[in-house]
């Protein structure tokens, strides 16, 4: 979804990507047909107009979800400033650990048997920095037993099934506003960002928080365009550096995205790291366009390895289509 588009476009796009949540799909479509609510949303700064943030803030202040659109509408149009203040203070740092089921095969390919120094851009609380602490099922192609709960991802195509979990020798991340797994308020906000009907994702989030809290990652506050190269070099002594990001570039403007892509291509070309990206199809065209043409009606992320598309992935990791090589 393009977060720098006008309100109507954003909410129409979100309705498509939120098909897994009947409540959010209905709310988004209702906003598209509601000029008064559109006008209220349009008074927010551009990046703060995004549906998931507005809906989450309303829920934070008691709007029931699942619930009727009328409840959301009334809360926004009669807001005393509380919902607006939450929107301005918070961000959609979802940190969906289910995406690890789509990321892991790319991590293993990048590692090529060597220890990994995992560096996540837009890390939030760093919950996706623990690929070695989970088990995986990729029906119908295979599975991989690990020390923790199972992440399940339906697979189509010739996905290379890893025969072992990677050895992670260092794990850390970079974020403008990193979250702490030991901060109850911040973790409650993460739980609030999970879509209304998705109790399985909420349970998985709690498992991920417990895993991370037992061995907190090294998170650095900083800007991906300014601070990442130095952090790549600092972590290189720990193992094969893999920089990764998932559903992050949508929050960066067009110019920033292109600068980031150029920077990452240079780091890869210089042998300073590998690059695993997992972004919306339109957000990251430099990778999307290296693969087959996506069906127009398919709401998908594109998984990239060193700038080359290797799979089309579900936004929360529930499914994946691995692309043929070449």
DSSP 235-269: HGGGSEEEEEEES-GGGS-HHHHHHHHHHHHHHHH
Query: Which neighbouring-strand residues pair with 303?
Result: 278, 311
**The two three-digit tokens of residue 75, written as one number:** 């809360």
Task: Look at residue 93 in the predicted model and tell me its pLDDT.
Answer: 81
Predicted pLDDT of residue 184:
95
Global confidence as pTM: 0.91
* CATH among 3.30.70, 3.40.50, 3.10.50, 1.25.40 for 97-322: 3.40.50
Residue 326, pLDDT score: 62
Q: Give residues with Cβ within 8 angstroms of 138, minimum separation 6.
A: 101, 144, 152, 153, 154, 155, 159, 161, 320
| Helix (H/G/I), strand (E/B), else coil: 123 | coil
| Per-residue pLDDT tens digits of the chain, which is 326 residues long | 566 779 999 999 999 888 889 999 999 999 999 999 999 999 999 889 999 999 999 999 999 999 999 999 999 999 999 999 999 999 888 789 999 999 999 999 999 999 999 999 999 999 999 999 999 999 999 999 999 999 999 999 999 999 999 999 999 999 999 999 999 999 999 999 999 999 999 999 999 999 999 999 999 999 999 999 999 999 999 999 999 999 999 889 899 999 999 999 999 999 999 999 999 988 889 999 999 988 877 778 999 999 999 999 998 999 999 999 86
Among the listed residues 231, 229, 249, 226, the one whose alpha carbon sits nearest the alpha carbon of residue 304: 249
Instruction: State pLDDT tens for residues 36-68.
Output: 999 999 999 988 999 999 999 999 999 999 999
Q: Please provide the DSSP assignment of 169-231 as one string.
A: EEEEEEESS---TT-HHHHHHHHHHS-TT-HHHHHHHHHHHHHHHTS--EEEE--HHHHHHHH
Instruction: Extract the tokens encoding 157.
Output: 């195509």
Cis before 21? omega within 30:
no
Residue 140 DSSP one-character state = T
Question: What integer pLDDT is reported at residue 299 of this predicted model?
Answer: 74
In the DSSP assignment, the letter for residue 96 is -
Query: Strand, helix or coil at 290?
Result: coil
Phi-psi region of 126 (alpha: psi -120 to 50; beta: other; left: phi over 0): left
Angle between helices 51-60 and 184-193 (to 10 degrees): 120
Give percent of the chain above pLDDT 90. Answer: 87
Structure tokens at 317: 């990791």
Q: Report how far apart the first and last C-alpha atoms of the chain are (Å, whole number).
A: 27
């Amino acid at each position: 979804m393009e977060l720098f588009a006008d309100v109507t476009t954003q909410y129409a796009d979100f309705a498509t990507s939120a098909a897994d949540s009947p409540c959010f799909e209905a709310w988004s479509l209702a906003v598209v047909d509601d000029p008064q609510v559109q006008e209220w949303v349009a008074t927010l700064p551009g990046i703060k107009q995004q549906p998931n943030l507005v809906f989450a803030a309303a829920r934070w202040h008691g709007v029931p979800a699942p619930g009727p659109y009328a409840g959301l509408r009334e809360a926004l149009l009669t807001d005393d400033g509380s919902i607006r203040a939450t929107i301005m203070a918070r961000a959609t740092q979802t940190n969906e650990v289910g995406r690890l089921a789509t990321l892991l095969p790319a991590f293993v390919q990048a590692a090529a048997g060597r220890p990994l120094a995992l560096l996540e851009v837009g890390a939030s609380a760093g919950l996706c920095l623990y690929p070695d602490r989970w088990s995986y099922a990729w029906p119908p192609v295979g599975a991989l037993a690990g020390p923790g709960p199972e992440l399940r991802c339906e697979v189509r195509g010739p996905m290379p099934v890893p025969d072992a979990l990677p050895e992670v020798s260092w794990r850390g991340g970079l974020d403008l506003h990193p979250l702490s797994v030991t901060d109850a308020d911040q973790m409650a906000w993460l739980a609030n960002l999970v879509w209304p009907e998705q109790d399985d994702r909420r349970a998985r989030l709690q498992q991920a928080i417990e895993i991370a809290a037992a061995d907190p990652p090294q998170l650095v506050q900083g800007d991906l365009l300014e601070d990442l190269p130095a952090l790549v070099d600092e972590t290189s002594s720990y193992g094969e550096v893999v920089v990764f990001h998932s559903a992050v570039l949508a929050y960066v403007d067009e110019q920033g995205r292109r600068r980031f892509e150029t920077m990452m291509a240079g780091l890869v070309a210089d042998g300073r790291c590998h690059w695993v990206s997992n972004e919306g199809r339109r957000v990251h065209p430099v990778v999307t366009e290296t693969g087959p043409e996506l069906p127009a009606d398919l709401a998908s992320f594109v998984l990239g390895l060193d700038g080359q598309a290797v799979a089309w992935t579900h936004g929360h990791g529930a499914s994946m289509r691995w692309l043929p090589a070449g």
